[in-house]
Every structure is written in structure tokens, then in C-alpha cells.
Amino acid sequence: MTRGVFGWTYREVVDVLKEKGFSLNHTKGSHHFYVGTVEGKLHQVCVPKHSNKAFKPRTFKSMVTQSGLPRDIWGL
């Protein structure tokens, strides 16, 4: 069973992004911006680093959309 949008932490999201070729571009406060190309298009993902708690589902969905990666990679 996939976990869907629940229980994703900062470290887990960053690990998936790095695995898919994204790299840290810059930080602004507690927000880390990762950039990478997906199907020839440049994508930027803002990943907030506020604590070790899991992201809220809406925040996680926003990062998935920003990444441009297929939803099945994220278990959706």
C-alpha cells in the first residue's frame, strides 16, 4: 500500500529530488530551492525546512506539482 500524500518529511522529499537529478540552487530563510530538468524543461521546487515533522498534504502536493516529476514516483 502506498502512503500517498501523508508522512513525507523534508529529508525524504530532498532524497527523491536529488535521485532524479535536482540540486540545491539557493536558500531564502528556511526555504530551500531545488532546480532540475524534467523532459527538457527546467523546474524549481521550494522545499520548506521548518522542522522534522511531516508536510501537510497540500504543501506536499504543491511540491510534487512544482517538480514536474510523474506522480507515480511519489506514490500517488
What is the CATH class of 10-68?
A: alpha beta
pTM of the full predicted structure? 0.89
E strand or H helix at 63: helix 57-67
Mean pLDDT value of segment 34-54: 93
Going from N- to C-terminal start, the domains of the chain cover 10-68
How far is residue 69's CA from residue 14's CA, in Å, rounded to a whole number? 13
Supply the mean pLDDT for the chain: 91
pLDDT higher than 90, residue 5? no
pLDDT digit string, tens, across residues 14-32: 999 999 999 999 999 999 9
Q: How far apart are CA 1 and CA 4, in angstroms?
A: 9
Find cell 506514490 and name the residue.
Answer: 75
Q: Would the CA dihedral through 61, 35, 24, 30 be positive or negative?
A: negative
Q: What is the pLDDT of residue 1?
A: 38
Strand partners, 26: 33
